[in-house]
Amino acid sequence: EAGVAQSPRYKIIEKRQSVAFWCNPISGHATLYWYQQILGQGPKLLIQFQNNGVVDDSQLPKDRFSAERLKGVDSTLKIQPAKLEDSAVYLCASSNLLGTEAFFGQGTRLTVV
Amino acid sequence: GESVGLHLPTLSVQEGDNSIINCAYSNSASDYFIWYKQESGKGPQFIIDIRSNMDKRQGQRVTVLLNKTVKHLSLQIAATQPGDSAVYFCAEMRDTGNQFYFGTGTSLTVIP
């Protein structure tokens, strides 16, 4: 079974630039999560989708972050404009409708300089 | 605010010994917990889960114990191997919306 796919693996941008990350969840998983993991910390939930609807985006900095999952499968997370403190690993995870056994992708390591 | 936290940030064990990693949670409404292992440069990897109606669950070389009275869970790794070296996170799923909340993590180092 293929896992959660994310791209790119690494990205370096200057502050105030924009960046986008892509995630393809495990086939059949209705729930998709985006997490931000700052070095030395646990992942922090940014947004949760169920199919193409947003379940929880309470911790998403909506002034600069946006995410979509238009067809209920792939998802993109965008940051515009980026700040230095956005440097982190952005993890995508997916799970079944019960929420059990959420599986993570490898993550995208973002460095803002 | 409510949070999931770990007692120890680092743990070193000799190869072959048993490891115990602890986690405290504060939300009594949490009903599902997962332990994840994260190796350097990789995403968190599912190890084992437990529901709040259970006290113990065993996997291959791993056991998770849940004490709802004191809101504490632990991950026991038997016969720890060098490949077990990683950061271990506990994550709780609260009873609304299936969101997972992670603690800070414990870095486990296995000494050959």
Between A35-39, A59-63, A96-100, the lowest mean confidence (pLDDT) is in A96-100
Give the domain extent around A106: 5-112
Report the share of chain A in percent with pLDDT over 70: 99
Interface touch A107/B43, C-beta < 8 Å? yes
**CATH number of the domain that A45 lies in?**
2.60.40.10
Report the share of chain A in percent with pLDDT over 90: 82
| Residues forming beta bridges with residue B14, ordered by sequence position | B111
Residues B5, B20: contact at Cβ < 8 Å? no
Q: What is the pLDDT of residues B4-22, one digit of tens each?
A: 554 458 999 999 999 999 9
What pLDDT, on a 0 to 100 scale, did the predictor assign at position B6?
Answer: 46
Is residue B105 one of the residues assigned to a domain? no
Within 10 Å of residue A86's Cβ, how many Cβ atoms?
A: 20
What pLDDT, on a 0 to 100 scale, did the predictor assign at position B1?
Answer: 36
Interface touch B100/A45, C-beta < 8 Å? yes
Q: Which of B1 and A72 is assigned the larger pLDDT?
A: A72
Give the domain extent around B79: 4-93
Number of domains observed in the structure of chain A: 1
Nearest CB neighbour to B44, from listed A31, A43, A98:
A43
- Name residue A83's amino acid: K
Q: What is the pLDDT of residues A20-37, one digit of tens each?
A: 999 999 999 999 999 999
Give the DSSP H or E segment for B93. Answer: strand B86-93
Nearest CB neighbour to B49, from listed A31, A42, A101:
A101
What pLDDT, on a 0 to 100 scale, did the predictor assign at position B96?
Answer: 63
Any idea which residue has 């599912």 for tokens? B46
Number of domains observed in the structure of chain B: 1
Residues B64, B48: contact at Cβ < 8 Å? yes
Q: Are strands A88-95 and A75-79 parallel, antiparallel or unpaired?
A: unpaired
